[in-house]
Amino acid sequence: MTDFLYKLVAFAVTLGVLVVFHELGHYVVARLAGVKVLRFSVGFGRVIWSRRFGRDGTEWALSAIPLGGYVRMADEREAAVTRADLPRAFNRQPVAKRIAIVAAGPIANLVLAGFFFAATYMAGVPGQRPLLAAPPPQSAAAAAGVRGGDIVTAVDGDPVRSVQELRWRLLREQGAPSVSLSLVRGNVASEPVERELSLGALTDADWEADPLTKLGLHVDLGPPIVDSVLPGKPAEAAGLRAGDRIVAVDGVPMHSPADVAQVTNAHPAAALDYRVMRGGRELNVALTPEAVEEGGRKIGLAGVRLRVDPTALARLAVVVRYGPLAALGAGFRKTGELSLFTVRMLGRIVTGSASLRNISGPITMADIAGESAQAGVLAFLGYLALISISLGVLNLLPIPLLDGGHLLYYLAEIVKGSPVSDHAIEVGQRIGMAMLAVLMALALFNDVSRLF
């Protein structure tokens, strides 16, 4: 129950911060444009608390359904406007002003994300040095000439300072045939060598899972340690024990828990030879992974939980930190990159080249909000930045009912020289409502599927 309440509070804080900032964008630009604001509401539906402030007596309200918010302006299409307020009515403003007011909400979310990322960069983002283990012989990394001990310093000329940055740089290049890796080998002061890494063999499922592992870019975390063995599973039957270090599987050296998972998953119901270090001596353990169905295919599971050697983590630990100006630049650059990535991902979902399971709803959001809040302030700020970007991009989509739908009407008005008819807007609203209902149903279905 405590964990549930923690996640609920973290989710409420997430929604509250992002919705308030989004609506403040609309509010501030509306006031600057001279439009009269009647109500600023956090939430929809029945007003449960309100106060009036300012020379216009703007009502600041909390409403019953806390899944959004709105700014209500004087507008003749919605209610009667007094003669004195007609020049300040939203519908009487030039189209450029209306576009600025509507676009201000999503843009505020993107700006907020940039500042959140900048704050994390100034505080310092913990990560791991991109020190690579020797790649598997048949991998793309091996074909590119990557060696064990190489440190990745850049991808296509963009600097890389941690494994997390390396993963993001590769995700950003999804769809490209290859990337150029800058590697330092041996002496860290030596000149980097350039290696061309092919991305052509990666499938959509590989990109959605772990592209680094599929490419053979394994971080050298040392032999993983068995944390616990699940009762009744193959690992227990084979004799694996907590504290065992898995040195190799079928002769292939293991440098991380992901290495063990990759080999084990690829051999359902096939005998494997685990070479482990136990009490200062090495021994072989024969283990046959259990075959289970996952994602429409069979994978092998050993029934063991692994952890990384803490001394290896300490050796690889790095903190990515920038000064104030550099942090602002890095924060807004990352916001731009993630915004474009989100748009591309939505396009791939629409065209069917990415799974609909990538769409998440409020249950998943609450779960991740709670986990990130428990991980610390920096993790929670990073999560807020990601959700703020999603909210900003989603609202800019040309779907009626969303800000992007209104912007579409205004662009049509510019083209045709007159406002879009009320009938066309009404039809668009119905279409938009249906689209959002389907999207919400799909998101909730995915959330429930993940739970069970």
Q: What are phi and psi of 49, to 5 degrees?
A: -160, 140
Q: Which of 123, 130, 207 is nearest to 380 (CA)?
A: 123
173 included as an active-site residue: no
Burial class from Cβ neighbours inside 10 Å (0-12, 13-18, 19+) for residue 158 reads middle
Q: Which residues contact 397 (CB under 8 A, 6 or more apart)?
A: 346, 404, 405
Report how many helices (DSSP H) and strands (DSSP E) the chain contains, helices first.
Answer: 14, 16
Q: Where are the beta strands (DSSP E) in 346-390?
A: none
221/131 Cα distance (integer angstroms): 9
Catalytic residue among 23, 76, 290, 337: 23
327/335 Cα distance (integer angstroms): 12
- Do 361 and 444 form a contact (C-beta atoms < 8 A)? yes
User: How many degrees, rounded to 5, is the angle at CA 249 between CA 245 and CA 250?
Assistant: 150
- Which DSSP category does 418 fall into? S
Q: Which of 198, 288, 194, 284 is nearest to 246 (CA)?
A: 284
String of DSSP letters for 231-280? TTSHHHHHT--TT-EEEEETTEE--SHHHHHHHHHT-TT--EEEEEEETT
Between 422-451 and 403-416, two packed helices, what is the crossing angle to 10 degrees? 150
3-state secondary structure of 223: coil
Query: 230-268 in b/e burial notation, b at 16+ Cβ within 10 A?
Result: eeebbbbebebeeebbbbbbeeebbbbbbbbbbbbbebb
The residues carrying an active-site annotation are 23
